[in-house]
Chains A and B, each alone.
Chain A
Amino acid sequence: MEVSDSVLDHLRQVIALPDLTGTRYELESEIGRGGMGVVYAARDRELDRRVALKVLEVPITGEAQLIARLEHPSIVPIFETGTLADGRSFYAMKLMSGARLDRYAADTHTLSERLRVLRSVGEALAYAHSQGVIHRDLKPQNVMVGEFGEVYVMDWGVDAVAGTAGFRAPESTMDRLSDVYALGALLKFLVSASDSPAVAAIAEKAMSTDRRQRYDSVSAFLADIDRFEQGLAVEAWSEPIWHRLRRFASRNAVLLWLVAAYTLVKFLLFFLRKF
């Protein structure tokens, strides 16, 4: 049996498609491809709605089943997990619309808007960690920003995944601190050092090669972001005196204006009385 190039290409194409025999789904189109598997848009015949089907070569076991039970506003809800007739595993998820974070970040957004997105990602991570789940592959391509500004973290890690260069912590065994590292890399991706040296320092601390120098949790990382947004000194940066004065002035602008106005009035009254 001769297998020509065109037949080989055709076979690879048709066999790669998930076999949905016996499921409630009809295949529509491929919408994404990553290290873990391929995502398709599909129609759920029973509920007459569109879903995203993620098809994996690896079986869904252990932690992946835990992921399916995560319930958080920034974690894409999973409707169903199972095994296809061809032996592959699948997740049926809410079909998201919006922009991936790498595309979203290419548009102009204020610093506080970028930090809002980062905070949502961090809150989803902190929640997942509290449930014993580690993401393992956090990167801009795995974060979606919806049309109403909602943020979703996708592609929660399974065993076969070990991060993406630039966002992957240097250690070989992934744990919560590896996610802290990736969150720092995400912050660095979203905010340039010229935007704010304090934020850049937060990212650098989270991305320390020495794990002991990193924030010990995502919550500690977010607390430093909070301090920055409230105009307080951040843990990650010992700021120069001029910066501290400027931050003080910025935080107490009203008080300083009142003091200045009071001084001016006193000054004017002093001269009016004199002449």
Chain B
Amino acid sequence: MSESTNVATTGSRTTQILGFVVLLGLSVVFVLAFVVTEPDAVQQDAVRMFYIHVPAAIVALYLTVPALAVASAMALYKKTRWWDITAAAAAELGVVFCGLTLVTGVIWGRPIWNTWWEWGDVRLLTTLVLFLMLLGYLAYRRSVVDPGTRARRSAVIALVASTNVLLVNRSVIWWQNRTLHQKSSLIEGRLEDMKLFTFALSTLVFAVMFFWMMIHRFRIGWLEHKIETVGVDAAIAERRASAHAGLDEAISHPALEKEGST
């Protein structure tokens, strides 16, 4: 159909560049993580999990959730669908990256801690709660039909859920002797040069990936919004105008007028 009028993608020049940077970056990170960096003195090669687990956690906690919180606050303040859709996009990415953080953590924990999961660990618990809250947020959005109500209430839920990030971040400090999880290696400067560089690059690439996904996910939300509401009317109007321009003539055709009056 009308490919000349419809842009059949959510991509753009910007996303193409970002996507290319991500693919290139991930390749470099992979080589650094598996070929260039040395194994750890204690963890041996299991330390290579660090280069995906921590960047995923950083993106989840410090990009997706803050984006969700800011967008939700703005959705309440400005009352626009733009911010509401941004919040929904951030929450979905939050689920993806928070989920990956949990899964890679569980896999790393087995050889290093000798356990897949510890229910009593505050860091693990708060991260799992955050993940479930984000899932709940998305489920809630699907359960409310009215856009205005949905935007308002889900923004409040999101703001409450976002405060959990503080708990996740502080858990290893506040409950030092109640958590198995180690403290931040970064803040205390416990990473050697090449490991630090690999980790930093990986985090950067994950962050760019976040922006790439965020742009696409937002545009999907925007399109859904258009289809749900004004999109239907616009599509009809567009069709009337472009596909059947000839019908205008038919409308004023004497035969039709006559038929209509009988």
Q: Is A bound to B?
A: no
